């Protein structure tokens, strides 16, 4: 039962984390105005993490060797143009291309292997497969979902611990509040010296081991029924007390009680 509960908790936690990834951007081509290059975003702050391509007026694609962006212009060094396809949506095998940024310019010819500067007015549009704004939103959503899942997980663990503690305290309270039924019946008093020895054996010896606690739980579960049976037969003083006397004597001798 314990393992099943832990499995369900783990499954819930994993499921919560999985739900947080449902808002994954699907990497379709999206067209943006040139202003996206000059706004404050991951694109302008960390351009080195993106793969830039500049497309000239003839449709030729130049891979960018190095690039820097500021609020009004682009400075870049372009490689020799080479053909590149822009699918409407990336396939799973093309996942690595999600960081591509394709900048389309009005210029027919662009210088290669030398530093060029492009103003916003030189640009027509920007095509991307991944949006900096959506990535930031997704990251924030994932963090929020992760925090929520951890919070829920913590609450569940707290409830389990609290419930276990309450059950333990209830059992302990029950054990401490009820007397030794059979011993009390045999000796006629809850405070008889022999009963005190047996209670001390319960508290100092049995209650400190797992098997001992199992014995105590079963004892208190079945001894009331046994007491009722024994009282009807009239053998309490003759048999049970005799057996208990020997056991109490050995306990006192062994433990110096």
Tokens of 246: 């020997």
Q: What is the pLDDT of residue 201?
A: 85
Is the Cβ–Cβ distance between 195 and 189 less than 8 Å? yes
- Cβ neighbors of 198 (< 8 A, separation 6 or more) are 180, 183, 244, 247, 248, 251
Name the phi and psi angles at 224, rounded to 5.
-60, -40
Name the phi and psi angles at 126, rounded to 5.
-130, 130
**DSSP-based three-state secondary structure for 110:** coil
Tokens of 202: 């319960």
Q: What is the pLDDT of residue 104?
A: 96
pLDDT per residue as tens digits for the range 25-49: 578 999 999 999 988 888 888 888 8
Q: What is the pLDDT of residue 252?
A: 85
Is the Cβ–Cβ distance between 54 and 103 less than 8 Å? yes
Whole-angstrom distance, CA of residue 223 vs CA of residue 177: 15
Helix axes 132-177, 2-19, angle to 10 degrees: 160
- Residue 1 is inside which H or E element, if any? none
Q: What is the pLDDT of residue 75?
A: 94
Q: What is the pLDDT of residue 191?
A: 80
Rounded to two decimals, the pTM is 0.46
pLDDT under 70: residue ranges of the chain = 1-25, 132-146, 164-181, 226, 229-238
Tokens of 34: 């040139």
**DSSP-based three-state secondary structure for 21:** coil
Q: What is the pLDDT of residue 77?
A: 95
Tokens of 189: 């008093």
Pairing of strands 115-119, 30-32: unpaired
């Amino acid at each position: 039962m314990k393992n099943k509960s832990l499995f369900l908790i783990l499954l819930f936690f994993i499921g919560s984390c999985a739900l947080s990834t449902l808002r994954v951007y699907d990497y379709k081509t999206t067209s943006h105005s040139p202003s996206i290059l000059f706004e404050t975003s991951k694109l302008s702050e960390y351009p080195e993490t993106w793969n830039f391509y500049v497309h000239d007026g003839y449709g030729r694609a130049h891979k960018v060797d190095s690039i820097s962006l500021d609020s009004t212009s682009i400075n870049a060094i372009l490689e020799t143009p080479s053909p590149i396809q822009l699918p409407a949506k990336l396939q799973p095998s093309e996942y690595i291309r999600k960081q591509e940024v394709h900048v389309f310019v009005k210029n027919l010819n662009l210088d290669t292997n030398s530093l060029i500067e492009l103003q916003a007015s030189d640009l027509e549009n920007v095509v991307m497969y991944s949006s900096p704004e959506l990535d930031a939103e997704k990251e924030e959503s994932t963090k929020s979902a992760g925090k929520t899942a951890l919070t829920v997980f913590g609450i569940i663990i707290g409830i389990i611990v609290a419930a276990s503690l309450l059950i333990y305290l209830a059992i302990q309270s029950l054990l401490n509040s009820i007397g030794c039924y059979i011993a009390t019946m045999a000796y006629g008093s809850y405070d008889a010296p022999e009963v005190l020895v047996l209670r001390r054996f319960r508290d100092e010896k049995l209650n400190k081991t797992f098997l001992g606690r199992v014995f105590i739980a079963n004892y208190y579960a079945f001894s009331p029924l046994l007491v009722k049976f024994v009282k009807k037969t009239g053998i309490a003083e003759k048999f049970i007390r005799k057996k208990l006397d020997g056991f109490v004597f050995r306990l006192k001798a062994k433990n110096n009680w």
